[in-house]
Structure 1
Amino acid sequence: MSCHFQTHIFSSHVLSIRDDLSGIAFREFWQDVGQQSLAIAQLQAEQYALWENDSHEFLVLFFAALLANKQVLIAPHRVKALEEELAQQGIHFLSRQSESLLENGTFELQHLDLNEQFLQQAQVYFYTSGSTGQPKKIPRTLRQLLNEVQGLDQSFDLLQDSIAIATVSHQHIYGLLFKLLLPLASGRSFYIPQLAFPEDVVAVQQKLKHLQCKNYVISSPALLKRWTRDVVLQDCQSVYSSGGKLESGIRPHLNRPVVEVLGSSETGGIAHRQQDDALWTPFANVNIRMAEHEELAVQTNHAFTEDWILTGDRVSVRDATCLKTLFQLSGRLDRLIKLEEKRLSLDAIEHKILTLDEIAECHVLVTQKDHRQILACVAVLTASAQHVLMQQNKAQFVAKLKQQLTEQLETIAIPRQWRFLSQLPRNSQSKLNKQMMQSLFQPLLTPVVLSQTYTEESAQYLLEFPPELACFKGHFPNLPIYAGVGQIGFIQHFAKQLWTALDWCNGYEQLKFQDLIKPYAVVQLKLQRQLHKVHFELYTQDKTLASGRLLFMLQQQTDTV
């Protein structure tokens, strides 16, 4: 089967499927792309940022901009700070152009030629996740992206009628490749809406039964961890997981194979496996070797360079077949540190901490205290340990953990500072938010964002309120609560982060504070914007804690095109 963007331009087969199961054919898609490319070609700038919540609309603008000879920067989100940063570089966010302004008439589909010269010249930039520091821009050509799609198609035996269903964003390279570009190049279909919960996936699969097609699910370790055996996948060929390590013991909860995918923004996809402790199998177009210090090196025709790329992963290799070198990962090289002249492995320390009965998950990091580097730990407790912590002094609880660790770790390797959360915080791409975890050991002014999703005019946050939050101090000594004025403060902060046009809050409407927020509370925050008004609701599963509307002054909106 041919796997190339050019192959299916005139096809009447459905490419994208809306929520109501109506479809958009390949030829309709490409006609729309061509028409938009004529309009975008009239824009002056050479580079544009792209962030669209709708997967189909994103794909139209993605190809239209490239055909218009524009460079495309795939934004990881669209928040005020990023808009301002890009605007300073003369980069604005792209939106659908009005075709009524076109002077060149209608685009002729037979003139669309996605030839090799176009593929080599079409330039796309991806942001790394930024989970370990300042995000970097990674360049890729459309030819390199097509090479990766072709490698996926060769590595996985997907049925021709399989429909892609995703719980991950197309704004990340993993979602873009698996959900959008693979169907586009191979003649398959994708379901447009991004799904949020396991139950949503199964509900969509039930709805898609009317089309009498198989499907495959593109997901993340964070969501698959929440899967239960009573959520049964239907007509599903396989489930894909990427964006972080899939914890052992999750696969038995799903009734279909789970393919774990290893990769990065720099290298693209590297390898895959279907069992927790299995060796990794490189993709069809990927070569690997062990470099100096047992570091995994990758060479592939879909990375931003054809040279060998060092990944920072420690590896042991095994020639299991004459065709492919299989390998095993054994931790990150950048997690080997020197502390007071002592060489320590943060991975090894985490492994020892996880042997404690009280600890379900943890992340160990290096932080600064009194101009010295010290070890710190963010931990998720078991339910019983969480109950014990709530009943006693935190210092006593931590002292007990440290005492247990003296039997397994030398003193310098035992974390000195501890924070406890209900889950490790993750960014919008489901990767560990290491910047957020670092901030837990600085003066803490806003609740911890465990996860977040957002569209153009709405956002949903999962927040946790550690006892170390500054707002708990003084309200009140024996019964700390998060004051209403503090709630308004962080809601303003999140709203202004999201929406560039909001300046300062100058009023409120229908404010209601209906219940208390106490230390360790886990709360949902929903924001909905209507011009200068932002409606908010803070709630848990069984009750609303606060709600109302904030009124903002609007500043001069950064120009978008």
Structure 2
Amino acid sequence: MLCHFQTHIQSSKIFCIQEDLRQISFADFWQDVYQQANLMQGLDAKQYALWENNSYEFLVLFFAALLGNKQLVLVPNRVKDLELELAEQGIYFLTRQQISEHSHDCVNNITPPQLQFDDHFLQTGHVYFYTSGSTGQPKKIPRTLRQLLNEVQGLDQSFDLDKACIAIATVSHQHIYGLLFKLLLPLASGRSFYSPQLAFPEDVVAAQQRLSVLKQYNYVISSPALLKRWTKDVVLQECQYVYSSGGKLESGVRPYLNRPIVEVLGSSETGGIAHRQQDDALWTPFANVQIQVTEQEELGVKTNHAFTEDWIFTGDRAKSVDATNSKSVFQLLGRLDRIVKLEEKRLSLDAIEQKILSLHDVVECHALLLEKEHRQILACVTVLTESAQQVLVQGGKACFVAQLKQQLIDKLESIAIPRQWRFLSQLPRNSQSKLNKQMMQALFQPQFSPVVLQHQQNTDNAKFQLEFSPELECFKGHFPDYSIYPGVGQISFIQQFAKQIWSDLAWCNGYEQLKFQDLIKPFAIVELTLVRKQHKVHFEMRSAEQLLASGRLLFALQNVQNALEVKATGAEHV
């Protein structure tokens, strides 16, 4: 079936389904887009950043900006540092334009038939995907609307989804995976999407039960991080497929779900590459993707939906296998950039990790190289079993690490045994379930704030999943035989997180209703919730169902602070 964004412009079919089951048709969506596009044509800047938590509002702004001859930068978050970085480039965040009385009549004259998705528009509509930087310095990846449409067509040709399937997502539309599967595929193929982004397996099933009145199938767009928390008593309903992308799906997860899981391989640079439905199965390229494997075993990809029409070499090691359908399938063998040279010795970080994982006390690990005083050191971030965590806390880190190294002597040569170790209950990942490698590098610097395992934010609230690793500076000496994380340290990192999220918060000048109800110990996993109301930020920290701490922080606002500085400067001149 040929997909096209223009096909359903005047359709009365359901496109967006809100949480309260209110429905928005394709025709109403496009009318909303046209009104906003007309207003955006009058904006001065050529390029804007887009971050909008609501999926429907996001898609309206997305197409309105492109129709208004603007270029878009899709960012993975809206933290203060990124906002300042973009502002230095003259890129500001796009918001819905308000319709004034003067422009109301003019805006209403715009009708859907005036829009034509011709080749010129598809080729000139530029979107930049701002990578999360999990594997290095963040960068902008350009894609045209034509390339995105090509990718949507490739997805639709690769899967036999029901024509009336509803997209349900636990991943963000800000990233290319969520944007394609949740929003653009339904938009181009006449399907619909459920607007809320869901957080837990139980939320997915609750949404399916709510949507059952429509008597339509659905498909779920999810991630390895959420799927590994699935249990057999959470039963999917009217679901055709579950999609997973952003990282490797752990083996053994599939039996916990009652529907097929399709793993999707891809990147911001290449777009979607291939898919598979079994843990150890070979990868099948998407319908519009060609692959090759070089003599150095590097996977190359060529497709009409990437930012370039040339071959892109991914850095993945692969082995090509000729399939009976004349289209090559392939096996992944790890990353080429994980072959490192240490003291003139070539080492595979993947192989080192496999040996460490063979130890009884280790659940998960990530090996990496550190730069220390002009020399490289092998290090490892390790997830231990619960019993091993207790041994570490009771017996001390030095003794525990010595035992680990002793167990590795028969498995690895001396140079391949990590010198430095950090221990967590789970490896930190970004919102797309990719390993947060910058965070793991930072673990080997003096650490005062807990490790951010997961992070979600809306306009006025944010949620963090934090781990208090035993190496945190605030644990040292507080107390020697019974480590706890002090309240003053908690207030410090909460302030830091709040100012990172909301750029207009200047400094904290007071507190209200501070309560510390329970202790935070090493390896604690804590949920931190921040809710902002004007200059006040309310916080709660919980571990499971136990409330650990709560209160409100009072901030000075940046615009007020600037006004005071200007006033003070004026007084000095007088």
Alignment TM-score > 0.5, same fold: yes
Report the equivalent of 1:159: 162
SS of the aligned residue for 1:99 comes to coil
Deviation string, structure 1 residues 417-451 (Cα, Å, up to 9, x no partner): 11111111011222111111111111112111111
Answer yes or no: is the 8 Å Cα contact 1:317–1:325 preserved in 2.
Answer: yes
Report the equivalent of 1:484: 487
Q: Quick check: 1:105 aligned with 2:107?
A: yes
Q: Quick check: 1:114 aligned with 2:117?
A: yes
Alignment equivalent of 2:242, drawn from 221, 239, 242: 239
Q: Aligned runs of 1:138-287 on 2, under 5 Å?
A: 138-287=141-290
Answer yes or no: is the 8 Å Cα contact 2:150–2:304 preserved in 1.
Answer: yes
Report the equivalent of 1:28: 28
Which residue identity is paired with 1:47? Q
Deviation string, structure 1 residues 201-230 (Cα, Å, up to 9, x no partner): 011111111110100000001111111111
State the shift of 1:246 in Å: 0.8
Q: Tell me whether 272-281 or 396-405 shows the greater mean CA deviation.
A: 396-405
State the shift of 1:389 in Å: 2.5
SS of the aligned residue for 2:559 comes to coil
Q: Quick check: 1:407 aligned with 2:443?
A: no
Cα separation, 2, equivalents of 1:516 and 1:102:
58
State the shift of 1:353 in Å: 0.9
Cα separation, 1, equivalents of 2:560 and 2:159:
46
Report the equivalent of 2:92: 92
Report the equivalent of 1:123: 126
Answer yes or no: is the 8 Å Cα contact 2:12–2:27 preserved in 1.
Answer: yes
Cα separation, 1, equivalents of 2:420 and 2:232:
37
Q: Aligned runs of 1:316-331 on 2, under 5 Å?
A: 316-331=319-334
Report the equivalent of 1:456: 459
Report the equivalent of 1:356: 359
Which residue identity is paired with 2:191? R
Answer yes or no: is the 8 Å Cα contact 2:242–2:259 preserved in 1.
Answer: yes
Q: Tell me whether 102-111 or 176-185 shows the greater mean CA deviation.
A: 102-111
Answer yes or no: is the 8 Å Cα contact 2:318–2:333 preserved in 1.
Answer: yes
Answer yes or no: is the 8 Å Cα contact 1:376–1:416 preserved in 2.
Answer: yes
Which residue identity is paired with 1:155? S
Q: Quick check: 1:382 aligned with 2:385?
A: yes
Alignment equivalent of 2:341, drawn from 329, 338, 357: 338
Cα separation, 2, equivalents of 1:120 and 1:132:
30
Q: Using a 3 Å threshold, how does the CA distance of structure 1 residues 557 and 118 change in structure 2: closer, same or farther?
A: farther
SS of the aligned residue for 2:135 comes to coil
Q: Quick check: 1:78 aligned with 2:78?
A: yes
Q: Quick check: 1:42 aligned with 2:45?
A: no
Answer yes or no: is the 8 Å Cα contact 1:501–1:557 preserved in 2.
Answer: no
Answer yes or no: is the 8 Å Cα contact 1:160–1:187 preserved in 2.
Answer: yes
Cα separation, 1, equivalents of 2:490 and 2:265:
40
Cα separation, 2, equivalents of 1:253 and 1:295:
34
Cα separation, 2, equivalents of 1:149 and 1:315:
25
Cα separation, 1, equivalents of 2:486 and 2:132:
33
Answer yes or no: is the 8 Å Cα contact 2:340–2:349 preserved in 1.
Answer: yes
Q: Using a 3 Å threshold, how does the CA distance of structure 1 residues 349 and 295 change in structure 2: closer, same or farther?
A: same
Answer yes or no: is the 8 Å Cα contact 2:423–2:470 preserved in 1.
Answer: no
Report the equivalent of 1:550: 553
State the shift of 1:557 in Å: 9.1
Answer yes or no: is the 8 Å Cα contact 1:14–1:26 preserved in 2.
Answer: yes
Report the equivalent of 1:312: 315
Q: Tell me whether 513-522 or 211-220 shows the greater mean CA deviation.
A: 513-522
SS of the aligned residue for 1:269 comes to strand
Cα separation, 2, equivalents of 1:383 and 1:208:
39
Cα separation, 1, equivalents of 2:344 and 2:433:
34
Cα separation, 1, equivalents of 2:353 and 2:103:
60
SS of the aligned residue for 1:516 comes to coil
Deviation string, structure 1 residues 51-80 (Cα, Å, up to 9, x no partner): 000000000000000000100110110111
SS of the aligned residue for 1:190 comes to strand
State the shift of 1:364 in Å: 0.6
Cα separation, 2, equivalents of 1:478 and 1:368:
33
Deviation string, structure 1 residues 462-487 (Cα, Å, up to 9, x no partner): 11111211112232222222111111
Which residue identity is paired with 1:334? D
Q: Tell me whether 352-361 or 389-398 shows the greater mean CA deviation.
A: 389-398
State the shift of 1:401 in Å: 1.4
Answer yes or no: is the 8 Å Cα contact 1:129–1:429 preserved in 2.
Answer: no
Answer yes or no: is the 8 Å Cα contact 1:129–1:431 preserved in 2.
Answer: no
Q: Using a 3 Å threshold, how does the CA distance of structure 1 residues 513 and 389 change in structure 2: closer, same or farther?
A: same
Q: Using a 3 Å threshold, how does the CA distance of structure 1 residues 117 and 523 change in structure 2: closer, same or farther?
A: same
Report the equivalent of 1:368: 371
Query: After TM superposition, what 4+ stretches of structure 1 lie above 6 angstroms from structure 2?
Result: none
Deviation string, structure 1 residues 270-313 (Cα, Å, up to 9, x no partner): 00000111110000000000124110000000000000001000
SS of the aligned residue for 1:551 comes to strand
Which residue identity is paired with 2:176? I
Cα separation, 2, equivalents of 1:36 and 1:536:
36
Cα separation, 1, equivalents of 2:236 and 2:213:
16
Report the equivalent of 1:61: 61
Report the equivalent of 2:14: 14
Cα separation, 2, equivalents of 1:155 and 1:200:
28
Answer yes or no: is the 8 Å Cα contact 2:366–2:382 preserved in 1.
Answer: yes
Answer yes or no: is the 8 Å Cα contact 2:51–2:58 preserved in 1.
Answer: yes
Which residue identity is paired with 1:319? D
Report the equivalent of 2:296: 293
Answer yes or no: is the 8 Å Cα contact 1:296–1:313 preserved in 2.
Answer: yes
TM-score (normalised: structure 1) = 0.98
Report the equivalent of 2:571: none
SS of the aligned residue for 1:350 comes to helix
SS of the aligned residue for 1:178 comes to helix
Report the equivalent of 1:2: 2
Deviation string, structure 1 residues 520-560 (Cα, Å, up to 9, x no partner): 211111100111100011111132111111010001399xx
Q: Tell me whether 140-149 or 323-332 shows the greater mean CA deviation.
A: 323-332
Cα separation, 2, equivalents of 1:223 and 1:321:
35
Cα separation, 1, equivalents of 2:253 and 2:132:
24
Answer yes or no: is the 8 Å Cα contact 1:500–1:557 preserved in 2.
Answer: no
SS of the aligned residue for 1:305 comes to coil
TM-score (normalised: structure 2) = 0.96
SS of the aligned residue for 1:324 comes to coil
